[in-house]
């Protein structure tokens, strides 16, 4: 079957993760959560007592020496470091607090970008979500989206997700963290969060999940149609 790589970039809480997973299911594609990989490296560093903000060298070494692996037989794919399943650690507050510093390290990004490109070769029918998927990792992707939403809506969505997982969530505090993380992600030197020129930008603030999904699904399907001026007269 032909390659079909769909990239979804955007800030935290723009709805990317929920959208990417469901879009992949609707289109019969696999799903890659690249934020989980930055979180996986952060979780590994914390488990080894590394201060992520102060000991970047050790974090980069760790990323180089402990390749991450997804189990593609689970949906969504669970993340492993060697034989250890780290999936349940990824959304813990200490990992969330440390991950922007890890994602700002160019040495870590080099390793993870290469791993993501390899995943793209092994799984060429893929919806992949992150901050740099359309700009850096898959510049030649077949369809690119950039999802956005205002900071208050994004904080409310994150809070709802946390509450669903049985956690306490303070919307004002989450909004503060989101704004701080956005600033770090979009001003960092390596692969800052940007909307690629050739991506469709969609503001999801006033849209339901189903509305966003319908829109994206239609756009992907439209992009797969043969060009209108194809010679149909034999």
In angstroms, give the least distance from the CB of 218 to ligand DC.
25
CA angle 219, 223, 229 (to 5 degrees): 130
The encoded tokens of residue 28 equal 């019969």
- List residues binding ligand DC (CB under 6 A): 12, 34-35, 38-39, 99-100, 103, 130-132, 181, 185
Secondary structure (3-state) at 9: strand
CB of 12 to ligand DC, least distance (A): 5
Q: How far apart are CA 155 and CA 172, in angstroms?
A: 8
24 class by beta-carbon count within 10 Å (0-12 exposed, 13-18 middle, 19+ buried): buried
Least gap, CB of 89 to ligand DC (angstroms): 12
- Alpha-carbon distances of 133 from 74, 96, 184, 231, rounded to whole Å: 22, 20, 18, 34
Instruction: Kindly tell me which of 175 and 181 has the beta carbon lying closer to ligand DC.
Output: 181
Measured from the CB of residue 93, what is the shortest distance to ligand DC in angstroms?
13
E-only strand ranges, 13-170: 30-33, 68-71, 78-81, 84-85, 125-130, 143-148
- Residue number with CB closer to ligand DC (115 or 132): 132
Residue 27 or 43: which CB sits closer to ligand DC? Answer: 43
Q: Measured from the CB atom, is 4 or 154 closer to ligand DC?
A: 154
Cβ 97 to ligand DC shortest distance, Å: 10
Cβ proximity to ligand DC: between 4 and 10 the closer is 10
Reported as type and span, the H/E element at residue 217 is helix 209-224
Cβ–Cβ contacts within 10 Å for residue 181, how many? Answer: 19
């Amino acid at each position: 079957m032909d390659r079909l790589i769909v990239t979804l970039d955007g800030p935290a809480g723009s709805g990317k993760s929920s959208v990417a997973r469901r879009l992949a299911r609707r289109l019969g594609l696999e799903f890659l959560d690249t934020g989980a990989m930055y979180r996986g490296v952060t979780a590994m560093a914390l488990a080894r007592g590394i201060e992520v903000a102060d000991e970047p060298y050790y974090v980069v070494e760790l990323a180089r020496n402990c390749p991450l692996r997804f189990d593609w037989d689970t949906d969504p794919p669970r993340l492993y470091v060697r034989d250890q399943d780290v999936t349940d650690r990824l959304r813990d507050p200490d990992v969330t607090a440390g991950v922007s510093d890890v994602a700002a390290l160019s040495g870590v990004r080099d390793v993870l970008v290469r791993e993501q490109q390899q995943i793209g070769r092994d799984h060429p029918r893929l919806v992949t979500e992150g901050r740099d998927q359309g700009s850096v990792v898959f510049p030649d992707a077949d369809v690119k989206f950039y999802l956005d939403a205002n900071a208050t809506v994004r904080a409310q969505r994150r809070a709802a997700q946390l509450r669903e997982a049985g956690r306490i969530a303070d919307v004002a505090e989450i909004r503060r963290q989101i704004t701080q993380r956005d600033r770090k992600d979009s001003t960092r030197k390596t692969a800052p969060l940007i909307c690629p020129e050739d991506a469709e930008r969609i503001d999801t603030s006033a849209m339901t999940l189903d509305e966003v999904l319908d829109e994206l699904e239609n756009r992907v399907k439209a992009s797969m149609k043969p060009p209108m001026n194809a010679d149909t007269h034999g």
